[in-house]
A and B are shown apart, each in its own frame.
Chain A
């Protein structure tokens, strides 16, 4: 009997569910947030990802993995897709999908790169480009659970025109500090010269290692590699530096 229970759980996680696009939010030209209604969706943990499957009319199908951007809740989730030139899937999701269209998804998966509201330590989030997506889910989960633990976000992006969730981050939340690290072009009057992340960014805007924060780093491989190495050099315990690399270049 116990065996049957396990299989039931497993089946749940692996089952493809039908999701309907109920809204689209434009982040910037290449990035779109898809709002998805999934009637039997169990909810997720902030930081987890889902597999998305697209099937063409002749039966051809392909799948990709996307982090969930929204706060955990049953029946609904959001993913943010950056359209990549020559991509097979991302341009379709970002530009062609309309409200009422269907896709399939399964999950959520991943138990390592997650933040749970019961965590009490301070949190440092380090995002490179669209690596902000799972970290935004953590920020939103903290907000919706009434969390009081202090969060700091360092967000590396190409220019002010390439920001995700711009308005929401500008409005801010009590206990959330946001620092923007522009890599190519900074707004007028910015004190920091545009450039890639350096250790002093983490010293000036992160947490001292003595506070024993949990650090979540997400971004393209080169960015994630660098930022996590700097954190360890600055004395953060490797066990407390959780990394999700998602490949590609970008910012």
Chain B
């Protein structure tokens, strides 16, 4: 797979990387990567989390310096020392985690990436023009912190287009969009291609790559493992290239008969909440209930109130009345998180470091984080002195590590020393270890490699099937379709009614996430 440059008609590739390598400490994030992008093509960079895609494009754009290897731009060898130089060459970048500034306006955000000193008024006008031309409406005066994720992405794209680049790099652009919003984005991208622009499209979503892209380069563990025309491939064959031979299928064995008839283990009734921070979302009359044996999936684009819902159910934020949250028949709305855990509930938040775990504390210490009140007989001794029982903690930690196949480099490392996937396995295992009857997980496999993700999903299904009620909040529709029994969607702090998985399809969930499906309407809530 080395050095075969395919140039889509023209004689020279627009950009050609040869033997590009990046080493972080002992990790080879990119290992002698060869990549050629032709003029006027949409080139896909495929690979699962941790395959080295982001590192590679950061080197192309100048945000990272390669350890070795060369980049040629329009046939000339170049050293891209910083992003400003990348921009001046004609490379534009739309980041996955947007590089926007909440406290600044859209126009100011755009101004920051333009190297020439253009007055803000001019920028605002040009942003409006470009927005209109490409179907990307924005308000240049709006504060970015107040905008939705989709609007923020438009600003990123307009910012990029204003520099009139020859090559546009998009990093996982659809991960934050509803399927319908993604369709609109594809129209924009196809139009750009027709104008002769090249696009490097980074994704792990196979269907959209097959639909949109002319060529694909596949990365695995920092190496190029294949180059192909995605349209001549099936999703399955692309997936095999991406993850190797170990494709994981989730076993959704049926729930035990008793489970489906049982009463709800977790109920939320009329949960409304005002925004708590400057850029946080309010919740509007949310109702849901989950029975033993089932997984309720909650879909939604980031920033629609999922985090707020999680904190309301976990008890990190208390409700006005006790009966708003019921856990196993007990009114829990005024009970704190430790009390809710004692009722049998368990929680895994989205942010692993700094919410679910303390980064510079060891695994045993992080085990105690969510277990000190539920398992105080095991982990605390000395009566009122409440001494920490290090030995019991170490035992339980090694039990979880074995159970969840957590790979670690030291006996008892800091949480921050684990990879995202291994830490998430540990955090999920920490809760599973006490057999919770109610479990709520926010973005269980965000940034987690495929093997760990499959392990986590299977563990969640098994937990539900053993008679627990599980809520999975996720932006990843594939994941929700894989494991949920019912799916609801969140938009603007509203939660739709849930729809059984059998009656659900991607288009419908997309409409629900966009807030256009009738089942979103808050008026008829309370009927789940």
A joins B in a complex? no
Interfacial residues, chain B to chain A (CB-CB below 8 A): none
